[in-house]
Amino acid sequence: MPLNIDIVQILLHMLNFVILAGGLTLLLFKPVKKFMADRKQYFEDKEKEIAEGLKENESLKAEYEQKLSNVDAEIEEMRLNAKNETATAAKEYINNAQEKASAIISEAEQQAEERKDHILDSAQTEIGELVVEATQKLLESNATPQKTHELYDEFIKSMVRDAQ
């Protein structure tokens, strides 16, 4: 061997290299390649989720903007409904108050009518008593026309005073 090259040694080194390369391929390259593929897939999935989230956010944003533009109309509608309800409640309150007022007025009129009847009855009784009294005085006294006129005048004046 001219340069101290041993073919067997070279072949053994080559065999060692092939075994080492095959072993490293099986033990390291395939798991690392699988890890890298999984990692790539994970990030692609995350990108898809983010893109879907962005699309959903955009649709929600558009929906909220639409709702915000409709809020004024909804507020106006709610205000009108509240106004109508208040007006209805006020009308009911007024109607109830008018009914109560009518009932109170009719009761007062009825009481006034009863008082009037009572006063008329008592006045008629007093008038009757006064007539009887005047008649007795007239009969007791020696009635002269002058005295009769004085008694009638006195009677009428007392009646006017009593009426006031």
pLDDT in tens, 104-150: 999 999 999 999 888 888 887 887 787 777 777 766 666 566 777 77
Q: Does residue 1 carry a pLDDT above 60?
A: no
- Is there a contact between 118 and 101 (Cβ–Cβ < 8 Å)? no
Residues ≥6 apart with Cβ < 8 Å to 100 = none
* 2 occurs within a structural domain: no
Measured in whole angstroms, the distance separating CA 163 from the mean position of its chain's CA atoms is: 61
In order of 10, 131, 150, 155, 163, the CA distances from 136 in angstroms are 176, 8, 15, 13, 23
Tens-digit pLDDT profile for residues 53-82: 999 999 999 998 888 888 888 888 899 999
Q: Residues 74-94, buried b or exposed e (16+ Cβ, 10 A)?
A: eeeeeeeeeeeeeeeeeeeee
pLDDT of residue 141: 65
* 27 occurs within a structural domain: yes
What domain count does the chain have? 1
- Amino acid type, 18: V
* 74 occurs within a structural domain: yes
pTM: 0.38
On the CB side of 118, CA atoms within 13 Å amount to: 6
Token pair listed for 17: 């290299």
What integer is the mean pLDDT of 24-39? 87
* 1 occurs within a structural domain: no
Could you list the residue range(s) of the whole structural domain that residue 74 is in?
Answer: 7-163
pLDDT of residue 135: 73
